[in-house]
Structure 1
Amino acid sequence: MLSKTTEYALRAVTCLAGQAACGKTPSPADEVAGITQIPRRYLHRVMQNLAAAGLVESRCGTHGGYLLARPAEAITILNVVAAVEPMARICNCPLNLQSHTALCPLHAELDRAYAATEEAFAKVTIAALLSSANPIVPMCETP
């Protein structure tokens, strides 16, 4: 359902949030790429999309790198998804059939699923992922 680019964006934002929680900001691109296992060149493209959406910032220089532009509490999974590949809702017949003045049962059901996914993603912040009671910590190998 989610593309590799969206997965990478979610990893990158979660990584930056985790680094910020530890006081490690900004995070150098090589470090983010290593933690998230995103190819370095691809990371740059993902970060450009996230920066254009106002989710991350980049800083140049010796102590430069990437950091969140907003608190992790103010960034949802939906914000990240929308920044790289917004979910396309179905508003009219994809086949352009003239007689379909409303969505057919198939496309109506698919659109309901997209709506439910968007709603679920909008409810979960990146901070909530990091503070989850789950013993598995995002982006960290656990013993």
Structure 2
Amino acid sequence: MLSKTAEYALRAVTCMGSRAGCPASADVMAEETKVPRRYLHRVLQDLAAAGLVRSRSGPGGGYELDINASDITILDVVNAVAPLERIATCPLGLKSHTSLCPLHAELDRAYEQTEVAFAGVTIGQLLKSTSPITPLREVK
């Protein structure tokens, strides 16, 4: 259901969230998250354009969250890079469908429920999980 771009963005944001106050280089994040560096760079640009991430150049620089991880939801990250597309009108363009047919209405309800679920979970919550597994990334 999620695009590869959204998955990669979530990995990057959790990586940065786990390093609060310590910027991470794209190389380090690419290695830890298993996201190809070139692709990661594009994702980071989208996250920065959305105001979720900032970059600092120079020694000790890198990428870091521009907002506290507890204030960023999964939906915020997804919407920054590959928003879920709700169905407002007939995707087939059928003029006789003045409202959504049962199939597309049900699909849109599922998208709505997904948005609600994603909006209810913050990156901070993921990082504070009691699971012994660190979310979405490899740890040495």
- Name the TM-score, length of structure 2 as normaliser: 0.95
* Seq. identity, %: 64
Equivalent residue for 1:97? Answer: 94
Shift of 1:27: 1.0
Consecutive unaligned residues of structure 2, counting only runs of 5 or more, are none
Please identify runs of 4+ aligned residues in structure 1 that moved more than 6 A: none
One-letter identity of the residue aligned with 2:101: C
Structure 2 match to 1:13: 13
SS at match of 1:106: helix
Alpha-carbon distance in structure 1 between the residues aligned to 2:37 and 2:93: 41
Q: Give me the whole-angstrom Cα distance separating, in 1, the residues matched to 2:134 and 2:26.
A: 21
**After superposition, where does 1:1-143 map in structure 2 within 5 Å?**
1-20=1-20, 23=21, 25-138=22-135, 139-141=137-139
Which letter maps to 2:2?
L
Secondary structure of the structure 1 residue equivalent to 2:80: helix
Provide structure 1 residue ranges, at least 5 long, that are not aligned to the other structure.
none
**Matched residue type, 2:32:** I
Aligned pair count reads 139
Q: Per-residue deviation at 1:3?
A: 1.2
C-alpha RMSD of the superposition: 1.2
Matched letter for residue 100 of structure 1: H
In the superposition, the TM-score normalised over structure 1's length comes to 0.93
CA separation in 1, counterparts of 2:44 and 2:101?
38
Counterpart CA distance in 2 for 1:102 and 1:134 is: 44
Could you tell me which amino acid in structure 2 is paired with residue 104 of structure 1? C
Equivalent position SS for 2:115:
helix
Q: CA offset at residue 141 of structure 1?
A: 4.4
Cα drift, residue 108 of structure 1: 0.2
Q: Relative contact order (C-alpha < 8 Å, sep 6+): which is higher?
A: 2
